[in-house]
Structure 1
Amino acid sequence: MLQDARTGSIPKEESTLVLKEFMQSSAITQLAKYEPMTKPEKEFTYLASGPGAYWVGEGERIQTGKATWLTAKMVTKKLGIILPASKEFLRYSVSDFFNAMKPAIKESFAIKFDQAALFGTNSPFGTGTSVWEKIQASGNTIALNSIGNLYDELNGVMALVEDHDKDVNGFTTTRRFRQKLRGAKDANGLPIFNDANAGVTSQALGLPIGYVDSKSWDYPKAHLLAADWDYARYGILQDIEYKISEDATLTTIEDAEGNPINLFERDMFALRATMQVGFMTLSEDAFAAVTPEVVAP
């Protein structure tokens, strides 16, 4: 029972389900490349530019191609949530309790992770590491309705990435923007958007679209992001751990009168769940954005 197991890791089956739903809810975990983590810091090398070949005359020496390998270091940070609940949940089995809490945990973790990785909102990963900050540095933006219809703009942001010899392999946006995607047509009047059905991911111009919770998205900055997502990496270090308290005072939440919530006074308890995740971007020219329409003064 939960009241007899107040500290520890979520049971493996439930932890796997929560982690799976977190990864299905986060746009970053859907699109970016996974980097296995066994410790809080990990250094790895990646191919920044490949070797070139050379024309060789008969009997001449073949020149040695030079590949550029760079080293990157990913650091994981702790992500946590505190969920207050009534005492009746203490009489649940651990498995039943985490099945009930699973939606709140996965949504909270996914929103916070995407906010930091996509737009740098309250990011613990350092200045300049988010996708949007890389786009600002490169200037890879096209305003909505600036060069034609949405088909032209999507084609344009893909070209901005392709100009640097990288391939866009996915888009990310919010469901708020899906209406514009549904209405977009190419030069022949054919729709460029295929909505999700039968387990198939939504696509535009043949590329997958990862949807982000609207709470994770900064709509005044960008309506859609396009990227070669191999240049964005994420890692997950630990399973989700939890601890339960019945006598804490929660200073980050207030009652109707503006007072902190005291669990002992209200006969409640709170669950604290934590996990460790990492994120980094490897190139500033691998990302581009469709930004809001510029309104003439």
Structure 2
Amino acid sequence: MPTFNPDNVLLQDAKTGAIPEEQGTLILKETISNSVMMQLAQYEEMTKQKKTFHYLAEGVGAYWVGEGEVIQTSKPQWLKATMEAKKLGIIIPVSREFLQYSITNFFNEVRPLIAEAFYKKFDEATILNVDNPFAQSLQESVTNESHIVTGDINGDTFFELNDLVNDAGFDVNAYISKKNNRSQLRRVVDGFTQEDGTITDPVRLYNRGANTLDGAPVADLESTNMKKGELFAGNFNYVRYGIPYNLNYSISEEAQLSSMVDESGKPINLWERELMAIRATMDVGFMVLKDNAFAKIEPTTAPEGA
């Protein structure tokens, strides 16, 4: 029996199955490299839907030892966590002409669309708690811990934001913002504040060229569900994600897309419009290990341009 080769098989002859390894790998790479959460969080290898693992909650310590004294024994604290993967799916309607493409060429064409849909949906769920299937999100973490600073982004709120994380015993190693916050980020300065409100020898903590804040990277989330003036901070060593399975797909020429309507408000019928649709799915796990390792600035009111 000849070996299956996606370069030589037309899409119309293979309407369901696993996305070919090469294209699937590229989709995952594109998803991971563009996802804000996946860039910042720690990857946890998964081979099944649920994974239980141990993580280091508190590290070992060193001690000063006098001549002849016994060296104390460090007691690192290891905790157990269970992460569960959820299925993420998208449906993309495309022209029926794609049925004449090879499987390889078809996925080369739709790869950017699939990856963008995956990373945007994952980020909004895990960061903003929008349509979130997971038990946790950053928004839920800061809300549960009351780690929210209210006001504009400036030096005062920035230091208060960091204090919430530092006082819980963590260092901030990254921030999540959005591009239209950059004018506010430039107001984050360090220096001695006089009684009249002026700052002596101000030092700007935001580096626009490197997109860093006080030396830590700023990841920009492009989502209309994130308001201008919102800024997350935290230690992302305490966030995990995993991808246990290969990506899968299915093609339909006859489905009625209930979640997509035409100009008259009626669901799109693929057969009537000579279209087809690809349904692609991936399984991805996510969890926050330490809720109090995160904090957030929220504007008092939603500013213009939010």
**Normalising by the residue count of structure 1, what TM-score does the alignment of the two structures yield?**
0.87
1:240 lines up with 2:244 in the alignment: no
Separation in 2, partners of 1:119, 1:223:
11
User: Cα distance 1:102–1:142, how it changes in 2: closer, same or farther (>3 A)?
Assistant: same
Separation in 2, partners of 1:71, 1:247:
47
Give the AA of the match of 1:40: Q
Give the AA of the match of 1:233: R
**Percent of paired sites with the same residue:** 44
User: Cα distance 1:186–1:58, how it changes in 2: closer, same or farther (>3 A)?
Assistant: closer
Q: Please give the secondary structure, in 2, of the residue aligned with 1:285.
A: helix
Q: 2:108 aligns with which of 95, 99, 103?
A: 99
Q: What corresponds to 1:40 in structure 2?
A: 49
Q: Please give the secondary structure, in 2, of the residue aligned with 1:214.
A: coil
1:179 lines up with 2:199 in the alignment: no
What is the CA-CA distance between 1:10 and the residue it aligns to?
2.2
Q: Please give the secondary structure, in 1, of the residue aligned with 2:55.
A: strand
Give the AA of the match of 2:226: D
Cα displacement string for residues 262-295 of structure 1 (whole angstroms, at most 9, x for unaligned residues): 2112111110000000100011210011111369
What is the CA-CA distance between 1:65 and the residue it aligns to?
3.6
What is the CA-CA distance between 1:238 and the residue it aligns to?
1.9
What is the CA-CA distance between 1:96 and the residue it aligns to?
2.6
Separation in 2, partners of 1:72, 1:170:
23
Moved more, 13-22 or 35-44: 13-22
1:219 lines up with 2:227 in the alignment: yes
What is the CA-CA distance between 1:58 and the residue it aligns to?
6.9
**Normalising by the residue count of structure 2, what TM-score does the alignment of the two structures yield?**
0.84
Give the AA of the match of 1:166: F
Q: What corresponds to 1:193 in structure 2?
A: 206
What is the CA-CA distance between 1:61 and the residue it aligns to?
5.7
1:133 lines up with 2:140 in the alignment: yes
What is the CA-CA distance between 1:112 and the residue it aligns to?
1.2
Give the AA of the match of 2:130: T
Q: Please give the secondary structure, in 2, of the residue aligned with 1:22.
A: helix
Separation in 1, partners of 2:220, 2:104:
29
What are the within-5 Å matches in structure 2 for residues 150-169 of structure 1? 150-169=154-173
Separation in 2, partners of 1:89, 1:179:
45
User: Cα distance 1:62–1:203, how it changes in 2: closer, same or farther (>3 A)?
Assistant: closer
Q: 1:114 aligns with which of 109, 118, 123?
A: 123
What are the within-5 Å matches in structure 2 for residues 204-283 of structure 1? 204-215=213-224, 217-219=225-227, 223-283=230-290
CA RMSD of aligned residues (A): 2.3
Moved more, 133-142 or 30-39: 133-142
What is the CA-CA distance between 1:245 and the residue it aligns to?
0.8
Separation in 1, partners of 2:116, 2:268:
23
**Contact conserved, 1:79 with 1:277, CA < 8 A, in 2?**
yes
Give the AA of the match of 1:178: R
Separation in 2, partners of 1:204, 1:83:
38
What is the CA-CA distance between 1:214 and the residue it aligns to?
1.4
Q: Please give the secondary structure, in 2, of the residue aligned with 1:278.
A: strand
**Contact conserved, 1:25 with 1:212, CA < 8 A, in 2?**
no
Separation in 2, partners of 1:51, 1:186:
33
Q: Please give the secondary structure, in 2, of the residue aligned with 1:155.
A: helix
Q: Please give the secondary structure, in 1, of the residue aligned with 2:204.
A: coil
Separation in 1, partners of 2:100, 2:26:
22
Q: What corresponds to 1:5 in structure 2?
A: 14
Cα displacement string for residues 148-173 of structure 1 (whole angstroms, at most 9, x for unaligned residues): x6233223212211112211110011
Separation in 1, partners of 2:291, 2:33:
26
Separation in 2, partners of 1:4, 1:219:
46
Give the AA of the match of 1:24: S
What is the CA-CA distance between 1:81 and the residue it aligns to?
0.2
What is the CA-CA distance between 1:103 and the residue it aligns to?
2.4
Separation in 2, partners of 1:67, 1:288:
26
**Contact conserved, 1:235 with 1:277, CA < 8 A, in 2?**
yes
